[in-house]
A = this chain, B = another copy of it.
Amino acid sequence: MGVVVRNIERPDLAVVAALGECGVATVHEAQGRTGLLATYMRPIYAGARLAAPAVTVSLPAGDNWMIHVAVELLQAGDILVVAPTSPSTDGYFGELLATSLQSRNVVGLVIDAGVRDVRELTEMEFPVWSKAVSAQGTVKETIGSVNVPVVCAGASVNPGDVVVADDDGVCVVRREAAADVLDKARDRVAKEDETRKRLAAGEIGLDIYGMRERLAAKGLKYV
């Protein structure tokens, strides 16, 4: 506790951008169905879709001091990931902090707690994935840490990991694995494009994936 890591390694930004285009569901599948944050993490408005390197914050319930500490460590293109050390729905973040982050070209926030000023954040097009919306303010009394490994909404996030987020939720990709996951995600996209055409033309999964025999072997009975 009480440690701020100034410099972190960030992933290749071209890889990051490409992961964002693949989207959460595809990336999550591509890395073996790991890294998904809990489904209670919802966007405050629909339509945002991004990927970015994580700057992580660990802080106590009801205290947002460390978010202020994190601001100057955030670079253009980063996303802020905030994890309280015990469950909280308080509003740790609002349009003033968003103004500050947007002036630094930070692209968004993922927080396992609440946010406020959601109308203003929506107008500013500053995307947030959060557990709650709450006007409840927080104090600035107790220190935490910045850029340490955290568990956020049930997923382990290291500083510099790639956070992919869209209307389906949030997924984290280890920095070291990003390029490899992207390759697999692209394969998946290509394969799905193919499948989509066949499905749209009226073929069905049972035939495309050759499932009938295995179903019969499992004992499925048609009556």
A184 to chain B, nearest CB (A): 13
Q: Which residues in B have their C-beta under 8 angstroms from that of A47?
A: 119
For window 35-80 of A, CB contacts with B under 8 Å fall at 36, 38-39, 42, 45-47, 49, 60-63, 65, 68-69, 71-72
Q: Which residue of B lies closest to A102 (CB)?
A: B200
CB of B34 within 8 A of CB of A215, answer no
Closest B residue by C-beta to A216: B143
Q: Are B204 and A137 in contact (CB under 8 A)?
A: no
Sorted from nearest, which 4 A-B pairs have the closest CB atoms? Answer: A141-B141, A61-B62, A100-B199, A25-B135
The smallest C-beta distance from A175 to any residue of chain B, in angstroms, reads 16
CA distance A47 to B34 in the complex (A): 34
Total interface residues on A, CB under 8 Å, equals 93
- Copies of this protein in the assembly total 6
Take A1-B34, A134-B86, A135-B36 as given contacts and tell me if A141 and B142 are in contact as well, using a CB distance cutoff of 8 Å: yes
Q: What residues on B are CB-neighbors of A220 within 8 Å?
A: 2-4, 69, 143
Q: Do the beta carbons of B71 and A171 come within 8 Å of each other?
A: no
Question: Which of A61, A97, A192, A215 is most buried by chain B, counting CB atoms within 10 A of its CB?
Answer: A61
Cβ-neighbour of A61 out of B88, B104, B205, B209 (below 8 A): B88
Indicate if A190 sits at the interface (CB-CB under 8 A): no
- Which one of B6, B60, B69, B103 lies within 8 Å of A206 (CB-CB)? B69
A156 to B151, CA, bound (A): 7
Among B29, B119, B141, B149, contact of A49 (Cβ-Cβ < 8 Å): B119
Does residue A167 face the partner (Cβ distance < 8 Å to B)?
yes
| A15 interface residue per 8 A CB criterion | no
**In the assembled complex, A177 has its CB within 8 A of some CB on chain B:** no
17 A-B residue pairs with CB within 8 Å: A4-B222, A25-B91, A25-B137, A36-B134, A39-B114, A42-B133, A62-B62, A65-B211, A68-B204, A71-B206, A96-B195, A100-B199, A117-B168, A122-B167, A134-B168, A134-B169, A151-B156
Cα of A167 to Cα of B177 in the assembled complex, Å:
39
